[in-house]
Amino acid sequence: MSMALQTKQTLFDIDQSHKKTCNPFSVPKRLLLGPGPSNSHPDVLKALSLPPVGHLDPFYIELMAEVQELLRYAWQTNNRLTLPMSGTGSAAMEATIANSVEPNEIVLVAKKGYFGSRLEDMAGRYGANVKTIEKPWGHAFALDEIQAALEMYKPSIFAIVHAETSTGVCQPMDGIGDLCRKFDSLLLVDTVTSLGGVPLFIDKWKIDLAYSCSQKGLSCPPGLGPFTMGPRAEEKLALRKGQVPNWYLDVSLLNKYWGSDRVYHHTAPVNMNFGIREALRLLANEGLEQAWTRHKINAQRLWNGLESLGLELHVSEDLRLPTLTTIRIPADVDGKAFSLHLLNEHGIELGGGLGDLSGKVWRLGLMGYNSTLDNVNLILNLFETELPRFKNNSVAAS
Ligand SMILES: *Cc1c(COP(=O)(O)O)cnc(C)c1O
């Protein structure tokens, strides 16, 4: 008895001290103008905070079908296998690879930034014989370069990033799908930073596999990775010799839950799907073309404003991505100090450079809910009034 009491007493004491040190948290106000996540739409946050229901609840099953239908609209596709993977964009990226790559077959990756390298890494891990073509960071591939590489390597899969978030380049997609059909390659496209913000047509462009994320153009928190697979990729999946070497991301299993059987695979992140349902509804209500135009207009205002302040943009205008702009850090400016200042004094997040562009650029995102005239004016005003303080005169003089 006394032992039990003593134990209880001890636990009670631990509990009390725990209560003293662990306070509820509050989140600082942030305007996320970096490479992602972007701010979530308030209506999406409301949807996320609704009470969860069971993942097989008839209400939820209906909501799943709506999410799929809305995703098909956002992507302009009729693909049956269109669903959000439970995970971030990289999980959906891995799903495209896991479900399409068979050991030893050739996968050709067109690399022009950081995310091409991630595709290369993943394809290698799934046993592909990976070949690459490369462009300097800030450039895009020309159609004849892609054609020459397809001719040379005859890959089973050709993978390319539509919107390279590490460089701010939007890859022109015209003609690539036709070439891939001609060479009997599947076309796999990263649409993480284009979905919802930049013209994107899965079916018209003959894209066989694509993925995206919830936290960039869709203005939902990170946590879901939209995935789509067309009929040619589905056929390859049906004919594959071995099992998909990833249980969690196996579309043939997932489709038994998202498709007609409705059998349990994993417990769906129900609230994340509430959130993306709302995010996709907002996009559909605005209209895809209207959303694309809004992103283009606001990006153009940003580009004009930055250039009139004497700043240089890293990407030539014809290839510039409306959702993400790379701004060259002037030689006499401490770029990191300016970003820190924006975060600490104004609650604004601006991204730095990755890889080859590390220390050379800022990355400024205007994605989804954040693509507004007010945000453009706010950030231009800060570049105008506060950047001069971060000029290092001694560097400028030397
Ligand atoms: C953000 C991003 C990813 C990865 O998505 P996560 O949600 O961070 O896993 C992949 N590709 C591109 C082009 C991205 O911008």
Q: Assess whether the C-beta atom of 89 lies below 6 angstroms from ligand 1.
A: yes
Closest residue (by CA) to atom 6 of ligand 1? 89
Q: Assess whether the C-beta atom of 99 lies below 6 angstroms from ligand 1.
A: no
Using alpha carbons, select from 374, 378, 365, 361 the residue that is nearest to residue 322: 365
User: Left (φ > 0), alpha (ψ -120 to 50) or beta: where does 138 sit?
Assistant: left
| Shortest-distance atom of ligand 1 to CA 222 | 7
CA of 195 to the centre of ligand 1 (A): 12
Q: Assess whether the C-beta atom of 159 lies below 6 angstroms from ligand 1.
A: no
Which domains does the chain carry? Answer: 31-37+287-390 (3.90.1150.10), 42-285 (3.40.640.10)
Instruction: Find where tokens 């700043």 sit.
Output: 311
What CA–CA distance (Å, rounded) separates 344 from 150?
Answer: 48
pLDDT value, residue 398? 36
Instruction: Find where tokens 């030397």 sit.
Output: 398
- How confident is residue 397, by pLDDT bands cut at 50, 70 and 90? very low
pLDDT value, residue 1? 39
Q: Assess whether the C-beta atom of 190 lies below 6 angstroms from ligand 1.
A: yes
pLDDT value, residue 23? 82
Q: What is the token pair recorded at 214?
A: 């919830």
Using alpha carbons, select from 246, 211, 207, 248 the residue that is nearest to residue 226: 211
Closest residue (by CA) to atom 3 of ligand 1? 89
Per-residue pLDDT tens over the stretch 1-52: 344 445 555 555 556 655 556 788 999 999 999 999 999 999 999 999 999 9
Q: Assess whether the C-beta atom of 222 lies below 6 angstroms from ligand 1.
A: yes
Closest residue (by CA) to atom 14 of ligand 1? 192
Per-residue pLDDT tens over the stretch 92-140: 999 999 999 999 999 999 999 999 999 999 999 999 999 999 999 999 9
What CA–CA distance (Å, rounded) separates 58 from 56?
Answer: 6
Q: Are strands 209-211 and 224-229 parallel, antiparallel or unpaired?
A: antiparallel
Q: Assess whether the C-beta atom of 211 lies below 6 angstroms from ligand 1.
A: no
Among 32, 38, 86, 93, name the best residue to mutate to test ligand 1's pocket (greatest count of ligand atoms within 8 A of Cβ).
93
Residues in a beta bridge with 387? none
Among 170, 188, 192, 198, name the best residue to mutate to test ligand 1's pocket (greatest count of ligand atoms within 8 A of Cβ).
192
Of residues 394 and 187, more confidence is placed in 187
Per-residue pLDDT tens over the stretch 288-306: 999 999 999 999 999 999 9
Quote the pTM value: 0.94
Closest residue (by CA) to atom 5 of ligand 1? 89
CA of 67 to the centre of ligand 1 (A): 20
Average pLDDT, the chain: 94
Per-residue pLDDT tens over the stretch 128-174: 999 999 999 999 999 999 999 999 999 999 999 999 999 999 999 99
Residues 6+ apart with CB under 8 A from 361: 168, 314, 326, 327, 328, 329, 352, 353
Q: Assess whether the C-beta atom of 115 lies below 6 angstroms from ligand 1.
A: yes
What CA–CA distance (Å, rounded) separates 337 from 48?
Answer: 35
Amino acid at 168: G
Among 90, 215, 218, 227, name the best residue to mutate to test ligand 1's pocket (greatest count of ligand atoms within 8 A of Cβ).
90
Q: Assess whether the C-beta atom of 165 lies below 6 angstroms from ligand 1.
A: yes
C-alpha atoms less than 13 angstroms from C-alpha of 347 in its C-beta half-sphere:
7
Closest residue (by CA) to atom 8 of ligand 1? 89
